A and B are shown apart, each in its own frame.
Chain A
Amino acid sequence: MPLQSKAFQRWLHGVAPDASTADVCRIAGIKRTTLAQQLVRGKVAESTLVSISRGFHINPVQALSTFDLYSELRGDPVPPTGCELVSQVATIDLLRAVVERSEPGSAAAAPLSEPPHPTSVRNWVDAIDDGELRHRVSDATGIAPQNFSAHLTANRLPPELAIATSRAAGVGPAGGLVAGGLITEAEAGWPPNARQEALDRMSQSALVTLAGERLLALGKTLRRQEQDHERTERIWENLG
């Protein structure tokens, strides 16, 4: 459940006591109607809070942590595990790393692209999953396992579910928010080169195996997309 609008307005008043709603929306780069609608419904999306925090140069994680639902984010950021860091390396960057490791100097080392990438969420959950994680998350939150899977497939991770998942896995609370694209790795307190360093620490065999797994999963996804596409095209070709 997103943020209660009462608590949100209290927070907003603390952040920008003199700004009008129009000002807030302009500075945060969000639509006025969107904010108004969320306030009327009584629930403000976390992404709205994040946009406003950025607009007013406040760390979004700190802003979130002032709400009870996100109290786990208070205090010093928990450093991410190596697996989490590597999970947020895009597949294409991973492949470049494999090439670079196999034939050093053959390609100019480009900086890693920022998370989230198209399979961030699933990769993150896979990275912290000990085999029982999904069960624990579904026990703790009441989310049906197939709905959890649907989120992973859609590369979506509602912030509340991200927190619950990291709690169930015993990792830092901000990792899921990075994977879900709510906050950047810098905002989560990850050191700037952490992902690159984690990648460099991997043995060549581990790197190649992981790249293989990623490619296999990517192949599956692409095949499904192609099938869906073909099905749609056949309907249009015959009836359009």
Chain B
Amino acid sequence: MTAVLPWVTLVVCLAVTVARIPSALRGENRVVFYIFSLISLSIFISIEAPYLVLDSWLGGMNIGNLILRFLLYTTFFLMGIKIATAFGSSSAVRAIRGPVGLTVAAIVAVLTVYFFVITDTQGSSAGMSGLRWGPSLEAYAFMGRFYPGFVAACLVPAIWRTVVSPAPVLLRVASALLLLGLCLLLLSQFFPLIPFSEAWLRVLINYSAAMSTCIGLAGIWFSKAYARRKRRLSA
């Protein structure tokens, strides 16, 4: 199942991205389209077969993985600001885009590059799982999990308030899915506790997080379209 899950996730994200093209062309919420594109691209690169091809172009020393990390950082930065604004949490917007958030992002970015450089990363492998894992690679992987986790932690309270509010049911369900995705990212902070033999569990958590975040975001969009249509029909 863990071999199929990444592809299924990719298909779902791509489908949502394609579905957003018309509204992006009309100029409605282009950032959301960019977010979905970035998520799709990140997932595409993270899957073994495309990853190996891409990385071989880049010299076979896992620079592809470094690119993936920065794609994810960008995605979460944009997504964090957009979601925090949407859910009306000015404190979360400040935490992500304010001095604290930018400092965290800068430190994570610098340390990610630093740990990548001091590690021997020869030999392409998806998720760098084929390399010899030392402290520097652990630290590199930690950075990659930490920033998404940081953004997720900023967003959870505001989304939770919407899930338990008297908002339209579809919107609450979609928000709950989004919340689930973000909580899985928080859970992923504990990855070092998962033994190497149970690597499938990491795959499961990572892609489930991506999938439910993506479906949740798409669901919010759908709930809006549904509410508008219902209003038009009743008018």
Contact = CB atoms under 8 A, between A and B. Distances in A.
Interface of A, helix, strand, loop or mixed by DSSP:
helix
A231 B88 contact: yes
Contacts of B224: 236, 240
Contacts, number: 47
Interface string B180-216: 0000000000000000000000000000000000000
Contacts of A238: 29, 82-83, 85-86
B167 A239 contact: no
Interface of B: 29, 32, 82-83, 85-88, 162, 165-168, 171, 175, 217, 220-221, 223-225, 227
A142 to B, nearest CB: 24
A228 B167 contact: yes
Contacts of A239: 29, 32, 82-83, 86, 217, 220-221
Interface of A: 228, 231-232, 234-240
A233 to B, nearest CB: 9
A182 to B, nearest CB: 24
Given A238-B82, A239-B83, A232 B168 contact: yes
**Closest CB pairs A-B (n = 5):** A238-B86, A240-B224, A236-B224, A235-B86, A239-B220
A240 B166 contact: no
B86 A234 contact: yes
Contact of B165 (A228, A236, A237, A240): A228
Contacts of A235: 86-88, 162, 167, 171, 175, 220
A236 B220 contact: yes
A232 B171 contact: yes
Contacts of B82: 238-239
Given A231-B165, A236-B171, 13 more contacts: A228-B167, A234-B86, A235-B87, A235-B171, A235-B175, A236-B223, A236-B224, A237-B86, A238-B82, A238-B83, A238-B86, A240-B220, A240-B225
